[in-house]
Amino acid sequence: MNLAERVRLRAQTLADIRAFFAARDVLEVQTAVLAPSTVTDPDVESIAVPGYGFLQTSPEYQMKRLLSAGAPSIYQLGPVFRHEERGRLHNPEFTMLEWYRLGFDDQLLMQEVADLVAVVLGPGAVQTVTYQQLVGELFDQSHVERSDLDLRFAEACDGLKPGRFFVVDYPADQAALARLRPDNPTVAARFELVIDGVEIANGYWELQDPVEHERRFAADRALRRARGLVDIEPDRPFLDALQKGLPNCAGVALGVDRLLMLAQHADRLDAVMQGPEF
Confidence at residue 85, expressed as pLDDT on a 0 to 100 scale: 73
Q: Which of 113-127, 148-162, 193-207 has the lowest mean pLDDT?
A: 148-162
26-55 per-position pLDDT tens digit: 999 999 999 999 999 999 999 999 999 999
Share the mean pLDDT of the chain.
93
Confidence at residue 275, expressed as pLDDT on a 0 to 100 scale: 61
Alpha carbons 165 and 129: distance in angstroms, whole number = 7
194-233 per-position pLDDT tens digit: 999 999 999 999 999 999 999 999 999 999 999 999 999 9
Q: Which of 29-38, 53-62, 109-118, 140-149 has the lowest mean pLDDT?
A: 140-149
In this prediction, residues 247-255 reach a mean pLDDT of: 98
Distances (CA, A) of 104 to 112, 220, 252: 10, 27, 11
Grade residue 140 by pLDDT with cuts at 50, 70 and 90: low
Alpha carbons 19 and 13: distance in angstroms, whole number = 10
Alpha carbons 270 and 257: distance in angstroms, whole number = 9
Is the predicted pLDDT of residue 277 greater than 70, yes or no? no
In this prediction, residues 1-16 reach a mean pLDDT of: 91
Contacts 24+ apart (CB under 8 A), 3-12: 3/278, 6/264, 6/271, 6/272, 6/274, 7/274, 9/260, 9/263, 9/264, 10/260, 10/272, 10/274
Which residue, 180, 168, 162, is CA-closest to 133?
168
Identify the three-state secondary structure at position 221: helix
Rounded to 5 degrees, φ, ψ at 190 are: -130, 150
Residue 191 sits at the vertex; the CA angle it makes with 9 and 179, to the nearest 5 degrees, is: 130
94-105 per-position pLDDT tens digit: 999 999 999 999
Distances (CA, A) of 220 to 136, 174, 177, 240, 278: 26, 11, 11, 19, 35
Q: Where are the domains of the chain?
A: 3-271
Is the model's pTM score more than 0.75? Answer: yes
Q: Look at the domain 3-271 and name its fold.
A: BirA Bifunctional Protein; domain 2 (3.30.930)
Confidence at residue 74, expressed as pLDDT on a 0 to 100 scale: 98
Confidence at residue 278, expressed as pLDDT on a 0 to 100 scale: 45
Given a contact cutoff of 8 angstroms between Cβ atoms, the answer to whether 186 and 172 are in contact is yes
